[in-house]
Amino acid sequence: MSYTCPSCKSENIQKSTMTHVSGISKTKGVGIGVGMSGGPLGGLGAGIGVGKATNQTMLSQMTTAPKISSPIVHALTTWILLLIASILFFFAIGIGIAVVLDSTNMGEIPVSIVRVLFGLSVIIVIVFSFWGAYKAYRKHDLKNKETMTAYDEQYICLRCGNVFRITQP
């Protein structure tokens, strides 16, 4: 079965991934620079720089791969935010309990109970923040896979330049 461009019905189409890679060429260059600076002492400096330049055809630029954001970064950000939020939450509860005890004159809570409550809140904070981070990782990992699949199924018409998607069965 042959695929055609949905816009001009041309069979002269190419996969975006192929077009993109074949249109890139890398060149290396060496440059020498001399610089002068003002000020009371003045100065003259020279430098040699080796640079890489990437030449890309228009067609290649049109079929550039989509930007993928790292799921690790999203997971880490979520983890830190949830950690701060849940610590503040338990901190507020702690202050609330202290204020209530103080106003009702019920006296102090035994140290052993305070320790247990503190330990429990630490466990909840850890479990909650890691669970959130895992959820964030899964969500972005899935999104990235969908984006890459869409790019993998993307074609460009070499006749009219139309970019379209052919979903593989």
Q: Which is nearer to Zn ion, 64 or 162 (CB)?
A: 162
**Cα 93 from Cα 152, distance rounded (Å):** 51
Q: Which is nearer to Zn ion, 14 or 162 (CB)?
A: 162
- In whole angstroms, the minimum distance from the beta carbon of 163 to Zn ion comes to 10
* Helix 71-104 × helix 111-152 angle, to 10°: 160
Residues found near Zn ion in the complex (CB under 5 A):
5, 7-8, 10, 157, 159-160, 162
Q: Which is nearer to Zn ion, 95 or 166 (CB)?
A: 166
**Cα 65 from Cα 15, distance rounded (Å):** 12
- In whole angstroms, the minimum distance from the beta carbon of 56 to Zn ion comes to 22
- In whole angstroms, the minimum distance from the beta carbon of 21 to Zn ion comes to 21
Q: Could you tell me which residues are beta bridge partners of residue 33?
A: 47
Q: Which residues contact 52 (CB under 8 A, 6 or more apart)?
A: 26, 27, 28, 29
Q: Which is nearer to Zn ion, 143 or 159 (CB)?
A: 159
Q: Which is nearer to Zn ion, 13 or 136 (CB)?
A: 13
- In whole angstroms, the minimum distance from the beta carbon of 168 to Zn ion comes to 20
Exposure letters 33-69 (e unless 16+ CB within 10 A, then b) = eeeeeeeeeeeeeeeeeeeeeeeeeebbeebeeeeee
- In whole angstroms, the minimum distance from the beta carbon of 157 to Zn ion comes to 3
